[in-house]
Amino acid sequence: MEGDHEMSALATEGWLIAHPPPEGVPWFPSGHASGYAVDDWLKLPESGERIELIDGSFVVSPMASGVHALCAGRLRAILAAAAHRAGSGLEAVETINVTTGESGLIPDIAVLPGALLMSGLAVFPASEIAAVVEVVSPGPGNRVRDYEIKPVKYAAGGIPVFVRVDIDGPDIPCVEVLELGPDGYETVTQAKPGETVTLSEPFPVSFDPADLLYS
């Protein structure tokens, strides 16, 4: 995900002081000593920041870096074109709200039915998501979140395919495709620039990771 300057806050901490609501926008604090709930997350005012709910805390991330945004935008276009060619009825979109259990997440890309997108919903259950993508930016917080925390939550929500794009290291971007198995996500393919990564689900698509940054 984006830069590694995220902040988290429990209901008992000073998140409201650091992030007061915009003037004229109502604020709905949780009041739960154990942390925030999905209902609180859904009531957050627009702030221009990416705010996710993970284990009762709000995790606030800055806007994506240029490399991150380029990678996510190009991969979304590749997936959207493949979904259209396959006649799948699916669409690939960036940064939508997804609920899984008691967490509210915002994947960099999500693949879901186009009809559902047109329904006017502001938040989508994980059960309706065919695939998610996370672009991992440099920074230990980002790596823990996208390698350890979010995959577990996406798997618990039953999302069949998880794609991770790593943009940290000497040979980037590296793309890893994981599919949901009985014990969680299992890597089915991994590729670096000059190689080919192939997805069979939720629709067939192949590309060179280099296309996400260098073409």
Lowest mean pLDDT: which of 22-31, 60-69, 153-162, 193-202? 22-31
Domain ranges of the chain: 7-61, 66-212
pLDDT at 10: 39
Whether the Cβ atoms of residue 196 and residue 208 lie closer than 8 Å to each other: yes
pLDDT at 50: 80
pLDDT in tens, 31-78: 454 578 888 888 887 766 788 888 888 888 766 688 999 999 999 999
| Topology of the domain covering 66-212 | tt1808, chain A (3.90.1570)
pLDDT at 193: 97
pLDDT at 39: 84
Calculated CA dihedral for residues 8, 12, 13, 17, nearest 10 degrees: 110
pLDDT at 87: 97
DSSP string across 131-160: EEEEEE-SSHHHHHIIIIIHHHHHHHTT-S
pLDDT in tens, 124-160: 999 999 999 999 977 778 889 899 999 999 999 999 9
Residue with tokens 């709910």: 53
Most confidently predicted of 1-15, 39-53, 64-78, 79-93? 79-93
Alpha carbons 26 and 169: distance in angstroms, whole number: 43
Q: Work out the mean pLDDT of the chain and round it to a whole number.
A: 85
pLDDT-derived band at 9, boundaries 50, 70, 90: very low
pLDDT in tens, 174-191: 999 999 999 999 999 999
